[in-house]
Amino acid sequence: MWNFINRNYWNVVIVTAVVLALICGISAFTRGELEDTPIMTGAVNVIATPVKNLFDNVGDAVGGFFGSMANAGKLTKENAQLKNRLKVLENENEHLKQFERENIRLRDMLGFKAAQGENKVVACEVVGRSFSSWNTTFILNKGTNDGIDVGNIVMNNNGLVGNITMAGNNWAQVTTLLDKDSSVSAVITRSGAVGIVEGDINESDDNMCLLNYTSKNADINSGDTVESSGLGMVFPKGLIIGKVQDIKEIKGQVNKRITVKLSADIYNLKEVMVLI
């Protein structure tokens, strides 16, 4: 085989390149029409996810070890302070548990149903990042076995993170709000002004997105809270997205350039919740 390739090197290169380019073209153009995760990607990720899990744990351990070495003295002092603080918090926690039990009892009496009562929440760990700097996606350690499916909403305690765009048995890919392909219909909580939060490569490094398609006279100020409006039928209403960071007038354009700082720190996520 090597002799054949050697004798026909440039022919082999050209034929292989053309075939691959054709496959790539077909694959790229059909991607939008596929609703399910490609079979090969699914199969590889089913095998790769446990290994990635292992490497992630090693990565955390290595990072933690070097971090500890660098701050050993400071950490000892901090540890003593934290132990004291822990005792105080344990007491407070006991009180809060009492309040929680009371709260549940009272809610039951009022027939109150919590806002997330309809949705089951699956807690997941982030085990992998996107391969390149061009996309902001990551891989979770749970998948369809735990009820996760394409389109599910991903968030953490601070706010909306993104949605599931691919899922296998034991893994799922999340496309974050920072991704250029991401868009969420949004509303300003204070004024009710609407727009669409979209990922932008120039802003994504600072954990920010753009709020586009707002009306010219929309009542929007810096610091306003932005939440999902539920209009796109993808993200439910009322999920916190972030806060308006900056508003700039652009010469010759009707719309202003409005940046939104996301509440969820996308680049430092370790655990997230998936609403299924």
Partner 1 sequence: MVYLLNILMFVACFLLDTTKIVDIISIFGIMPQFVFVLLLCFCIYYSKEKSLVLAVIVGLVTDIVTASPIGAYAVLFLGASVLCSVTYENIIERSLPSALAVIFVISSILNIITYIFQIFMGKDFAFMYCLWRYILPTGVYNVIITPALYWLVGKVYYRNERIF
* List of residues contacting partner 1 (CB under 8 A): 2, 5-6, 9, 12-13, 16-17, 20-25, 27-28, 31, 37-38, 40-41, 44-45, 48, 51-52, 55-56, 58-60, 62-63, 126-134, 139, 166, 173, 180-181, 201-202, 205, 267
Write down the least CB distance from residue 6 to partner 1, Å.
Answer: 5
Closer residue to partner 1 in complex, CB, 100/205: 205
Write down the least CB distance from residue 79 to partner 1, Å.
Answer: 23
Closer residue to partner 1 in complex, CB, 4/99: 4
CA atoms lying within 13 Å on the CB side of residue 216: 3
- For residue 55, give the nearest of 127, 137, 141, 130 by alpha carbon: 127
Closer residue to partner 1 in complex, CB, 199/242: 199
Sole residue written with tokens 């050993």: 72
Radius of gyration (Cα) for the chain, nearest Å? 24
Write down the least CB distance from residue 258 to partner 1, Å.
Answer: 17
| Measured torsion, CA atoms of residues 268, 46, 39, 33, in degrees rounded to the nearest 10 | -20
Closer residue to partner 1 in complex, CB, 139/155: 139
Closer residue to partner 1 in complex, CB, 22/96: 22
Residue 181 DSSP class: T
Write down the least CB distance from residue 156 to partner 1, Å.
Answer: 16
Joined tokens for residue 148: 């996760």
How far is 204 from 37, CA to CA, in rounded Å? Answer: 26
- For residue 136, give the nearest of 207, 63, 84, 70 by alpha carbon: 207
How far is 256 from 201, CA to CA, in rounded Å? Answer: 18
Per-residue CA distances from 226 to 12, 170, 217, 219 (Å)? 55, 33, 17, 12
Write down the least CB distance from residue 88 to partner 1, Å.
Answer: 33
Closer residue to partner 1 in complex, CB, 92/205: 205
Write down the least CB distance from residue 174 to partner 1, Å.
Answer: 12
